[in-house]
Chain A
């Protein structure tokens, strides 16, 4: 068991200025103070156990991990909802239109090509672009956040060892 007294501060209520003597071993690895550390609800002080032992790792880290995980979660959720609903929605609209208005979808727009056929083939062609777009958005919005969460999990399990 590690007694991490020297790099642990008792949690302070929201709005307090952090002491300038931040623990050296941690600040280097994480974002500087001033991020929305205290936006999270206050409730992690119970990590003291009954014998007054300090917890195994820095409670500030839990705040950060929680915040980073929440950011990753909402980024993933946004990406997932937008992409899934677009793909599923466009297809459902297409099928319902095909069934509800066969005359409209069967109307010829160029030679023998009907509107329904063009829309169907168009969905397949747009798929390539959609997949490309998904990969690029995921790389931009999700991957950096996932990297942060992964690194923190690595340092946490390192501290626990």
Chain B
């Protein structure tokens, strides 16, 4: 498939350099003012709902969504459609259930929300640990994906050295964005990225439909042929299998996605920067509309990739199909030497590149903010840290988190690291989601319950994932030759989500009986905070 001449590679390289230069410049110019904490953590409080919504959508649609979801649609058809729907509905659920109280309760990080009714260092530390546990795996997936993707786009021979260089390059850029730009800089980049991404995807989708004379039936017929699966392409079961256990696994995975993706800390962090409740509602409306539109486009693009590229070429380039969107743009461009083909391919490659950069920068920033605000300023310094020191710590924390992620991604570049995405989403669904819902809506929630939810949910998700079939025992696993798959599923959510909720409830019940005074204090704090939580009344 890689029959492009050097002219196209040169165009792509020039485009990459231009994009990097422009966004870096904007990051420096938009960087936060020194010693203004609110400015650093929340970016602009004056952002209009449309812009804030675009930034939320930009953070939400990570490179994993763009590349993996398109790949799964192309390879597994119906299962991919369900995944696209659950991805979009997850943000809807965040809007309906959590967005408004979260905005009222939080100021900078998840630790602020959780510690508002239970002051103390233990909760802050737990919040920071869970934030890191959820963002680091996601970060490593995207960075190691960046390695193989850049070598594919630039057509560098697949060697360990080339990929390591690409990972280090993308990782260093990501550190620079996060450390210099802060929330302001990344918000700006996310807005630009989402506009470019929507525009390019729209063009690709239109070209796909145009190729088939705007007939969905024709696209689907060609996709069934191209996938080699025939009618089963449009039935559930290609991704995980069709036995009862595998179907249950599929249901579990989808429920984990719908509960977990939108709760990840780098997305909730954007909500704190809305001006008031109507503003957060309008921001979320824009974000949901954008994400839903994009998911519809993903369905069209993925089906188009199956129809026009064909499964065997897609899996030959990448077994998970992450390069399908790039291959689709090559096929759509027609003659490889024409100007149109070059422009289309360069545009898609550039958008994928900027998506990768911005999503890893956003995650680094979320992890670094939690380290600086929860762990350093509140747990270590007991809230007495100077704003200037806290910001310096946040900057260095982004360097630290970024470096750690680069090292881990380099080490894991030869593994099938897709399982880390599942792990991150499982932790989001079984630790972050229960902790947030309990803390916001249950007045009887206590400290032991909180710690049990956070550590229990994250721990159970981690342990179950390690012993799942995604890590060992199956041909597509991380260690296909090892055999310690004691948990017979691909994702842990079906067990770990109920466990996270149950742990919080049991822990709180125990506190009510054993430490009545402390749980009464938690109740009093909850009630004192309620006007602020519900009405933003100070």
| A interface residues (Cβ-Cβ under 8 A, vs B) | 65, 69, 72-73, 76, 80, 83-84, 87-88, 91-92, 94-96, 98-100, 102, 105-106, 110-114, 116-117, 120-121, 123-125, 127-128, 130-132, 134-135, 138-139, 143, 145-147, 149-150, 152-154, 157
Contacts and interface: CB of A to CB of B under 8 A. Distances in A.
Interface in B92-128: 92-93, 95-97, 100
Nearest to B242: A102
A102 B534 contact: no
Contact of B96 (A83, A113, A114): A83
B93 A127 contact: no
Contacts, number: 148
Nearest to B253: A95
Given A69-B530, A100-B247, 13 more contacts: A72-B535, A73-B534, A99-B251, A112-B220, A112-B224, A117-B234, A124-B84, A124-B295, A125-B296, A127-B88, A131-B289, A135-B282, A135-B285
Interface of B: 78, 81-82, 84-86, 88-89, 92-93, 95-97, 100, 216-218, 220-221, 224, 231, 234-237, 242, 247-248, 250-251, 254-255, 258, 277-278, 281-282, 284-285, 288-289, 292, 295-296, 299, 530-531, 534-538
A98 B76 CA distance: 14
A123 B92 CA distance: 11
Contact of A113 (B217, B247, B258, B285): B217
Nearest to A114: B234
A156 to B, nearest CB: 9
Contacts of A130: 92
A111 B277 contact: no
B231 A99 contact: no
A83 B288 CA distance: 14
18 contacts: A73-B530, A83-B96, A83-B97, A99-B247, A99-B248, A99-B250, A102-B236, A106-B78, A120-B85, A121-B296, A127-B89, A127-B288, A127-B292, A131-B289, A146-B277, A149-B535, A152-B537, A153-B531
B534 A91 contact: no
A117 B88 CA distance: 15
A124 B86 CA distance: 9
Contacts of B537: 149-150, 152-154
A12 B536 CA distance: 32
A153 B535 contact: yes
B36 to A, nearest CB: 26
Contacts of A84: 93, 96-97
A54 to B, nearest CB: 22
Contact of B216 (A113, A147, A150): A113
Closest 9 CB pairs of A and B: A111-B217, A153-B537, A112-B220, A146-B535, A149-B535, A83-B96, A99-B247, A112-B217, A106-B235
B93 A131 contact: no
Nearest to A76: B534
Contacts of A143: 277-278
Given A88-B258, A95-B82, A124-B85, A135 B97 contact: no
A146 B534 contact: yes
A128 B534 contact: no
Q: Which of B86, B535, B536 has the most CB of A within 10 A?
A: B535
